[in-house]
Amino acid sequence: MNVGVCVLGGSLMPGKRKDTADRILAAARSIVRADGPDQLTFDAVAAEVGVSKQAVLYWFPNKARLIEALVRPALEAESAAGQAAITAQRSAGDAIRAYISALAMFHSSDLDRFRLMYVTPQIGQRPGRNGQMLTTLGRIHPATTEMYDRLGKILVAYGRYDELSDARRAAAAIHTALLGLILRMAMADALNAPMRAREDALIDALVNVMAPKAA
């Protein structure tokens, strides 16, 4: 049967299958935003959509699959924002500053989306058969890898690093440092306890540490 078509009463109903999956994902996003990642359960999703738990499991047979479907589009959008920012920069420092600023704006503009991307997958971890922890972020998503590659190539081209492998690690480290800062913002937001330092001042400080401008 075609993924986008189902048969009901002998007739084809285009889009019906995709619509059900989309409704499930919309409900899951709503639960994360309203109640937090730890409240994302198949029972809660089924109740939100108005279907049985087995209907949800038909589309997403385990929580890892559900979380992957939720997180992947956001990771791809994050990567697109980072890559767009570093295009046509004229120095390694400019590229790093643009990279941090663009991703900071991307995440700080929607902290619920940040929680969906980088907090929810941790809730979905479970022991695997081989004893390892299974998570949708256990392996870097291809879009994130592409973003690291793009910045890494720019850093090599402008002489900041000689080896692409080193430059890619630097891109990943910068990204990780920014995510730590955004996590603090998200925690403060969730607790309704503003940080002492302004958010924009903290982001500027991170930019200056990672890519100080020449005196």
Residues 53 and 79 in one domain: no
Q: How many angstroms separate the CA atoms of 210 and 205, rounded? A: 9
63: tokens are 């929580």
Evaluate if residue 140 carries a pLDDT over 70.
no
Q: Per-residue pLDDT averaged across 129-146, rounded?
A: 62
Last residue of a domain, one of 40, 61, 82: 61
Residues 56 and 134 in one domain: no
Number of domains in the chain: 2
Specify the pLDDT at position 133. Answer: 41
Domain assignment present for residue 47? The answer is yes
pLDDT in tens, 47-97: 999 999 999 999 999 888 888 888 889 999 999 999 999 998 999 999 999
Domain assignment present for residue 131? The answer is yes
Domain assignment present for residue 67? The answer is no
Domain assignment present for residue 143? The answer is yes
Domain assignment present for residue 66? The answer is no
The domain spanning residue 38 has which CATH number?
1.10.10.60
Residues 107 and 131 in one domain: yes
CA dihedral 43, 44, 47, 53 (to 10 degrees): -20
Helix/strand/coil for 171:
helix
For 20, other C-beta atoms within 10 Å of its C-beta total 17
Residues 188 and 163 in one domain: yes
CA proximity to 159, closest of 88, 83, 90, 81: 90
Give 96 or 197, the one with higher predicted confidence.
Answer: 96
Domain assignment present for residue 173? The answer is yes
Q: Determine the structural domain holding residue 186 and report its residue range.
A: 72-210
Q: How many angstroms separate the CA atoms of 85 and 99, rounded? A: 6
Q: How many angstroms separate the CA atoms of 178 and 204, rounded? A: 11
Specify the pLDDT at position 158. Answer: 95
CA proximity to 21, closest of 48, 60, 50, 47: 60
> What are residue 133's phi and psi, to 5 degrees?
-85, 130
Residue 35: which pLDDT band, with cuts at 50, 70 and 90? confident
The domain spanning residue 116 has which CATH number?
1.10.357
Evaluate if residue 1 carries a pLDDT over 90.
no
C-alpha distances (whole Å) from 86 to each of 39, 83, 112, 145, 175 are: 37, 5, 25, 15, 13
Residues 172 and 77 in one domain: yes
- Whether the Cβ atoms of residue 53 and residue 31 lie closer than 8 Å to each other: no
Residues 134 and 48 in one domain: no
Residues 165 and 118 in one domain: yes
Global confidence as pTM: 0.80
Only one residue has tokens 């959008």, namely 77
Evaluate if residue 209 carries a pLDDT over 70.
yes
Kindly calculate the radius of gyration of the chain based on its CA atoms and give it in whole angstroms. Answer: 20
Domain assignment present for residue 10? The answer is no
Residues 77 and 180 in one domain: yes
Residues 99 and 151 in one domain: yes
Residues 42 and 93 in one domain: no
Residues 181 and 115 in one domain: yes
Residues 146 and 191 in one domain: yes
Domain assignment present for residue 215? The answer is no
